Structure 1
Amino acid sequence: ASSQEKVDLCLAHGASAGIVYPRQPLDRSQQKAFADEIKAAGGGGVDIVYDAVGGDYAEPAVRALNWEGRFLVIGFPAGIPALPLNLTLLKSCQIVGVFWGAFVMSRPDENAANLAELFALYEAGKVKPHISARFPLEEAADAISMLGERRAEGKVVVTVA
């Protein structure tokens, strides 16, 4: 997470560990230290990385994967990373691109089933999204600013009366 407050929120919602990531750019020693921190948070390594950031954070995350781990590429606002592919061999891991928009278009039935399962979990109280703020539609620009300034610690909801 980008702040201790966001880590604390994740821990309060059931995360077993959390890390405040260092600011880019990361030199080699900082990347190694970050990989070690990820490994420690995972009890010696992690099975899955959900990477919505990319940039200098990707390689340390791959290095922190356990044997046969999975690295999910979600996005890369911090930059498109260049990964040494020998890591996939050494860890026997998978790097998987997750492009939800294309999935929705190419597999609408599977997407509908996934959404039905997600809503069932929500209705059962097993998924509890944290709402940082609610804005009426007239203040949608303020909601977007909150997201752009990275002040949101959860979902930002725009309501339509």
Structure 2
Amino acid sequence: IDSIIVNSTALGFILSVDELLFSSLSTPMSLHMMERLQSKPMYDLSQEEELDDDVVLGRHEGTKVQASPWACISNMIPGKLLLVIIIWFLALADYYYGNCERSEDGTWVSQTLFIPKDITLTFCQAFLPSLCPVESQDSPAWIMPTGI
């Protein structure tokens, strides 16, 4: 009986974790909106309950869609998530190609760092550095150590 009590307590905790996370991480406005939601039935079965089982099964078989594996995968992966991953990958690749160089062993290491001559930037220098490069000092402030 002890294991039943422990298991039921653990199950109660597991089932309430999502509500705990939502209540602690949500804004007051979203909590208010969730409290105001009213439940709606997902579908109406009143017509199907009056029909014969074979007729209902025939209707169901007629509405089934044969989906390709690609369609199943595209339904499981949200498009926005895929877009964010692609943008993240492109930004990461841009960072490595713009700020790093390949070493002899194939790893990416930081380029030599030069300090800018002026600490103020124009709009073009801040947001379009490839079009409006920032002037830097002649001597490097940091060089990747070799022979480590």
Structure ranking higher on relative contact order (CA contacts 8 Å, 6+ apart): 1
TM-score range, shorter chain: under 0.3
Normalised to the residue count of structure 2, the TM-score between the two structures is: 0.18
